[in-house]
């Protein structure tokens, strides 16, 4: 039986395919280390260890347009981890015990 290290747990999001998704994924990869992107037939899975940050400014740079953090709900189909912070400038997904 595998033992899960409580200090190193994956957090992440599953995305549906659309134009904004690619910009969000590029922004996530830019702002976070060790991001793993898995492209599957029906969705794209993005995961990172312990914490994943999404900054509005970075998404806007890659999108080339204004983006509001609440628009994440239009392309994210699920997430794992806790929403540690969500405001107009950033979204933080993390585990509370890390």
Q: How far apart are alpha carbons 69 and 95 in whole angstroms?
A: 20
Tens digits of residue pLDDT in 11-45: 999 999 998 999 999 999 999 999 999 999 999 99
Q: How far apart are alpha carbons 52 and 32 in whole angstroms?
A: 7
Tell me, yes or no, whether 46 lies in a domain: yes
Pairing assessment for the beta strands 51-55 and 90-94 based on DSSP bridges: antiparallel
Tell me, yes or no, whether 4 lies in a domain: no
**φ, ψ for residue 96, nearest 5 deg:** -65, -30
Is the whole-model pTM more than 0.85?
A: yes
Helix (H) or strand (E) holding 55: strand 51-55
Tell me, yes or no, whether 57 lies in a domain: yes
Task: Tell me the CA distances in angstroms from 21 to 1, 7, 25, 32, one per residue in order.
Answer: 36, 29, 6, 16
Domain around 18? 10-94
Tell me, yes or no, whether 88 lies in a domain: yes
CATH number at residue 39: 3.90.56.10
Query: Total domain count for the chain?
Result: 1
Tell me, yes or no, whether 51 lies in a domain: yes
């Amino acid at each position: 039986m595998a033992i899960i290290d409580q200090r190193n747990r994956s957090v992440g999001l599953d995305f549906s395919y659309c134009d904004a998704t690619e910009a969000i994924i590029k922004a996530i990869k830019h702002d976070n280390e060790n991001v793993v992107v898995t492209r599957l037939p029906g969705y794209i899975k993005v995961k990172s260890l312990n914490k994943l940050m999404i900054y509005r400014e970075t998404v806007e740079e890659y999108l080339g347009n204004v983006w509001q953090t609440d628009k994440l709900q239009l392309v994210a189909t699920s997430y794992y981890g806790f929403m540690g912070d969500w405001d107009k400038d950033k979204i933080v997904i993390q585990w509370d015990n890390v």
